[in-house]
Structure 1
Amino acid sequence: MNNIFDNTETAFAIKSDSDLEKAYFLFKMIKSEPLVRIGSAVTKFALKSNLPVEGLIRSTVFDHFCGGVSEEDCMPIIDRMYTKNVHSVLDFSVEGKEIENQFDFAMEKILQILKFVKEKDALPFAVFKPTGFGRFKLYQKITEKKILTEEEKLEWERVRQRYEKVAKLAFDYDVPLLIDAEESWMQEAVDDLTEGLMMKYNKEKAIVFSTLQLYRWDRLDYLKGLSERAQKNNFKIGMKLVRGAYMEKERERAKENGYADPICKDKAETDKNFNDVLKYMFENIDKMAIFCGTHNEESSYLMMDLIQKSGLEKNDQRLWFGQLYGMSDHISFNLAKEGYNVAKYLPFGPVKDVMPYLIRRAEENTSVAGQTNRELDLIAKEKKRRKL
């Protein structure tokens, strides 16, 4: 298959020279691990102390990785990407709120987003994070099969109702709904809730999507079990595939608590796991839908190859590629130009509230070998091309 990801003219078609310079500077900064660590600490302190740094954050890291502070604020970016056939997934990225009225607020926000995206072709999905709808410790207690107090039972019922309300509106509006995955020690509670919603709303096609973190070695077996239950209960499986975002935390906890490490032993094994799951889903594509969330070129080529060998159309609505906004434009925009379905996760929210997400993005770029260098090399190549 031809190497389509080398085309930087397509990759950065919507970026001005000034945008490229800013991106180059930002990734240069991110490349330095000590700088990221210090910058993260200083930023947290400045925001906590109400120091006037939001303008600086907004003009650098925020604008590169986020769409804006509100849905309307994101529209210029959404429209610009859509001119190149790259769709957006509005991701309300406010984290760390652990009180009931904040969970209700997050739910109302997702309902609002569903109404917002219903009429917009550029916005094919809605998404939410499980801990936006309920307490982490409650998910954990249920995953660990511990007995709930009467108060916790009522609390869990409210969590379940939030999921139900959002899934029903997604079904009514015919908008696929992506439910993110989080740490392994709370994930089973999320999986069970999501499977119940699939059983109810995915009879004709996948509306509710769960997420598989494929740095976990047990996920293919989980998917095979889910597939058997889907066959038995006559529902379709919607699945977002990602490698995962909590590796260090997962390994540390497993070591501290003396249980088997849930993470694949190395990157090669994770890559194989991801690709094996992708192949399995294509073998069962008549009852599945795939949102392939990856910044990995090899996995992207594999999915392109599987589409071709399966005799499916490039723009089959069961098949989507996804990347994060601000990263891997060489994958997103070149795939879109070739006619594949592509969507960028577009985080948004108040600057202060989105900072945990932004810090994680910066740390991830620093820790993933080669990722930042790849971005820098591609930007440098495009800058050189434009000069010539």
Structure 2
Amino acid sequence: MGFKGTILTFAKETVFDAKTGKGQGFGIEASSSNECQWCDNIEAWREGTVKTVDLLREGDQLAVKMTGAGPGVCDAFANGTELPKQFVDACHEISQKCKDRGAYILIDAESQHYQWGIFRLGMELQQKFNTDGKVVLYNTYQAYLKSTYDTLAKHLQAALDKNFTLGIKVVRGAYMASDPRSLIHDTKQDTDDAYNQIAQGILRQEFRSFGTTKPFPSAQLLLASHNKESLVKAHETHQERTKAGLPTVPVKFAQLHGMSDEVSFGLLKLKDDAGVAPEVYKCTTWGTLPECMAYLTRRAIENRDAAARTLDEYSALKSELWRRLAFWR
């Protein structure tokens, strides 16, 4: 169907509810890795993630939820303390396997209670594996957070200082039901504006002082969204700058499997003068029912506006049907 590849996610994760002050590990045994040097939760997470890597082909992507490794890892993320060596070793093993396979890793954004620790680990892994202008790992930046613009600027500076390529995945955000409301933009329009500002700034290599008074670091961009307007605008900017010989960064696009197919197919139709379509991926999540509960809950919330998208999807499917019928005539 023209998709560049797939994104596979092992669903196991821990979600921290700011309202109750408690973390809920979906499909995770209630134990702490601090009790012993070997943690069954970490090993189960490693095995599930490695199984996912084994399903990937060259060019595919692994989306990984770090909190799926259990309470010991989550406590270290939340408290800013040293991560269990067993977990760090597993992260390096998984990163190397993906690099050897020619696949990519998307480190998912998670509950803000854990996110700063996840960012810290992600930057350490990127410094090790994102070398020679190539990307193996991407961090995920949630545009609905008021802090994201500052966070991304700090990470761009780190990439510039330490000479590695920053992998940037941008999403709007999916933890509004559990994260503190004060951390999130006041309106949806504010979030839309932030998303577009980040995407356009990276594509134009003009982000704060980067690209003006200081060099823009090596970076690659993945825009994960179901918002057609944002993605089409980003693609147009990338094409315009490429044709004009202006600086930009490589960009890919992604949507969830089974959602917003009209956006995905619409992007595939935006071919350049050489007939090359944008790189579009579809993301599929797998796991047992308990492991998938947090994911399914977020998707249910996100799909509350599904009725409003029905007409667009119907039109897109009808157009695709006629295209395929025309091909076989």
How high is the TM-score relative to the length of structure 1?
0.66
Q: Distance in 1 between matches of 2:316 and 2:170?
A: 30
Aligned to 2:190: 269
Alignment check: 8 A CA contact 1:139 1:190 kept? no
Unaligned runs of 5+ in 1: 1-82, 253-260
Report the equivalent of 1:124: 60
Residue among 153, 157, 172 paired with 1:224:
153
Task: Choose from 47, 70, 88 the match for 1:108.
Answer: 47
* Distance of 2:141 and 2:318 partners within structure 1: 39
| Equivalent-residue separation in structure 1 for 2:317 and 2:195 (angstroms) | 33
Q: Which position in structure 1 is the counterpart of 2:28?
A: 98
Look up the SS of the partner of 2:177 in the other structure. Answer: helix
Deviation at 1:350, TM superposition (A): 3.1
Alpha-carbon displacement from aligned partner over 1:258-282 (angstroms, at most 9, x marks no partner)? xxx2111111111111111112212
Instruction: Flag the structure with higher strand content.
Output: 2
Aligned 8 A contact 1:127 1:179 in 2 = yes
Q: What's the offset of the Cα at 1:216? A: 0.6
Question: 1:246: how far off?
Answer: 0.9
**What is the aligned-residue RMSD (CA, Å)?**
2.7
RCO higher in 1 or 2 (8 Å CA, sep ≥ 6)? 1
Which runs of 5 or more structure 2 residues have no equivalent in the other structure? 14-25, 30-38, 206-215, 271-276, 323-329
Residue 279 of structure 2: which of 329, 341, 351 is its match?
341
Q: Distance in 2 between matches of 1:142 and 1:179?
A: 14
For the structure 1 residues 110 and 355, does the alpha-carbon distance in structure 2 shift closer, same or farther, using more than 3 Å as the test?
A: same
State the match for 1:76 in structure 2: none
Partner of residue 199, structure 2:
278
- The residue number in structure 2 matching 1:306 is 237
CA distance in 2, matches of 1:360, 1:170: 27
Between the aligned residues of both structures, percent identity stands at 25
Q: C-alpha distance in 2, partners of 1:383/1:231?
A: 44
Alignment of 1:197-216 (within 5 A): 197-204=125-132, 205-216=134-145
Three-state SS of the structure 1 residue aligned to 2:178 is helix
Comparing both structures, which one devotes a greater share of its residues to helix? 1
Provide, for residues 26-85 of structure 1, a one-character-per-residue CA deviation record: whole Å limited to 9, x for no partner. Answer: xxxxxxxxxxxxxxxxxxxxxxxxxxxxxxxxxxxxxxxxxxxxxxxxxxxxxxxxx333
Distance 2:308 2:268 in 1: 20
From the superposition, tell whether residues 114 and 308 of structure 1 become closer, same or farther in structure 2 (CA, over 3 Å): same
- Alpha-carbon shift at residue 286 of structure 1 (Å): 6.3
2:296 to 345, 350, 358: 358
**Aligned equivalents of 1:276, 1:133: Cα separation in 2:** 34
Matched residue of 1:250: which SS?
coil
Change in CA separation of 1:132 and 1:296 when aligned onto 2, cut-off 3 Å: same
* CA shift digits 1:96-127 (9 cap, x unpaired): 1334323312212222332331xx35x62112
Query: Per-residue displacement from partner, 1:312-363 (whole Å, max 9, x unpaired)?
Result: 69xx993110011111101111212331100011112334542332232112
Q: Equivalents in 1 of 2:149, 2:291: separation in Å?
A: 34
